[in-house]
Amino acid sequence: MEKSILILGACGQIGTELTLELRSRYGNEHVIASDIREGDAQLMDSGPFELLDATNYEAIEDVVMHYEIEEVYLMAAMLSATAEKFPMRAWNLNMGSLFNVLNLGKERKIDKIFWPSSIAVFGSNAPKEKTPQNTLMEPSTVYGISKQAGENWCVYYFRKFGVDVRSVRYPGLISWKTLPGGGTTDYAVEIYRKAAEQGKYTCFLKEGTKLPMMYMDDAIRATLQLMDADGDKLTIRSSYNLGAMSFAPEEIAESIQKHIADFQITYQPDFRQEIADSWPNSIDDSSARRDWGWSPEFNLEKTTSEMLENLRK
Ligand code: SER
């Protein structure tokens, strides 16, 4: 029998593509999408959908029981920039939803959980280049604090209650299907859209702001690879560092100019600059490579080609 999977936050940037990939692997009927709002037509038409608030334990439990769910992917969260504006709402959403799925695991109502962490768990005092898996973590954003606390709770539930929860620290994610919302790395998606539509872009981060980034196909592949991995091989139950590429806005602009010669970038940094400045420039992901064979496929050039080709259609 195929396993049944529930995605919370299925209509977001990652959730949309993750749901479609899981449906193609496990069959549409076995992959239940849920969110507090409806998603795009492809997501809504390809399989079951439930309107579901990830902070409502009873509502999630009902869906888990109804569909006999075994695995939950918790992709609902408030991202870094929005969380600075609504700290308590961010904390309540990011932590409340995590406790709900961890407690379903503790109660043995589900077998396996995926929950994403982020490069935001590191703060200004961590090494900037090739930031190690284990290092000083003093996050300076509401979002980063929630992710770091969440990582510690994952370890706690794994050790204390044997909950099989798995996690990666995603870098900024670049995709063309669904827009990100309220993150600091969102510029790396906006820039391609504006390049395709208008040939110019005003960036909210300044030149030289180097951040770890990843193309969505790599992020989805990493997620499923980690979920498929033999649990005994996983030495990290907080969250795995995950890397692919690192660049600053002017580098992405240069790679776009190879396709759109007169593309123009200007800079108007806002409050997100401070957030970006506190995050790593690049990531050491050797633990993920060693434990479950992680290896990225997309560099900046390949990402730019894919993004522009799809967005221009
Ligand atoms: N991409 C996220 C953000 O910018 C970080 O995990 O908030």
| The pLDDT value given to residue 1 | 59
Are the C-beta atoms of 18 and 73 separated by less than 8 Å? yes
Tens of pLDDT along 206-224?
Answer: 999 999 999 999 999 999 9
* Per-residue 3-state assignment (H helix, E strand, C coil) for the chain: CCCCEEEECCCCHHHHHHHHHHHHHHCHHHEEEEECCCCCHHHHHCCCEEECCCCCHHHHHHHHHHCCCCEEEECCCCCHHHHHHCHHHHHHHHHHHHHHHHHHHHCCCCCEEECCEEHHHCCCCCCCCCECCCCCCCCCCHHHHHHHHHHHHHHHHHHHHCCEEECEEECEEECCCCCCCCCCCCHHHHHHHHHHHHCEEEECCCCCCCEEEEEHHHHHHHHHHHHHCCHHHCCCCCCEECCCEEECHHHHHHHHHCCCCCCEEEECCCCHHHHHHCCCCCECCHHHHHHHCCCCCCCHHHHHHHHHHHHHC
> Could you give the CA distance from residue 107 to residue 101 in angstroms, rounded to a whole number?
10
Residues 249 and 263: beta-carbon distance below 8 Å: no
- For 313, counting Cβ atoms within 10 Å of its Cβ (0-12 exposed, 13-18 middle, 19+ buried), the class is exposed
**pLDDT value, residue 282:** 98
For atom 2 of ligand 1, the residue with the nearest CA is: 183
Mutate to test the pocket of ligand 1, among 115, 131, 141, 184 (most ligand atoms within 8 A of CB): 184
pLDDT tens, position by position, 247-283: 999 999 999 999 999 999 999 999 999 999 999 999 9
Q: What single-letter amino acid sits at 80?
A: S
Hey, whose CA ends up nearest to atom 3 of ligand 1?
183
Does residue 35 come out as left (phi exceeding 0), alpha (psi in the -120 to 50 range) or beta?
beta
Q: Verify whether ligand 1 is closer than 6 Å to residue 80 (CB atom).
A: yes
pLDDT, the chain, mean? 97
Q: Which of 13, 14, 80 to mutate to test the pocket of ligand 1 (most atoms within 8 A of CB)?
A: 80
Instruction: Tell me the domains of the chain and their CATH numbers.
Output: 5-171+215-241 (3.40.50.720), 172-213+244-283+297-312 (3.90.25)
Residues 114-153 have pLDDT tens digits of 999 999 999 999 999 999 999 999 999 999 999 999 999 9
Q: Identify whether 143 is a catalytic site residue.
A: yes
The whole-model pTM stands at 0.97
- Given a contact cutoff of 8 angstroms between Cβ atoms, the answer to whether 166 and 227 are in contact is yes
Q: Does ligand 1 lie within 6 Å of residue 12's CB atom?
A: no
Please give the distance, rounded to the nearest whole angstrom, from the Cα atom of residue 117 to the centre of ligand 1: 9
Task: Report pLDDT for 147.
Answer: 98
Task: For residues 312 and 310, give the distance between their C-alpha atoms in angstroms, rounded to a whole number.
Answer: 6
79 lines ligand 1 (CB under 6 A): yes
> Does the beta carbon of 170 sit less than 6 angstroms from any atom of ligand 1?
yes
Confirm or reject: Cβ of 118 under 6 Å from ligand 1: yes
Q: pLDDT tens digits for 182-199?
A: 999 999 999 999 999 999
Tell me which of 73, 143, 215, 240 is the catalytic residue.
143
Indicate which residue's Cα is closest to atom 6 of ligand 1. 118
| Beta strands 211-215 and 245-247, pairing class | antiparallel
Q: Is the CB of 185 under 6 A from ligand 1?
A: yes
Q: Which atom of ligand 1 is nearest to the CA of 184?
A: 4
In this structure, the number of other CB atoms found within 10 A of the CB of residue 3 comes to: 14
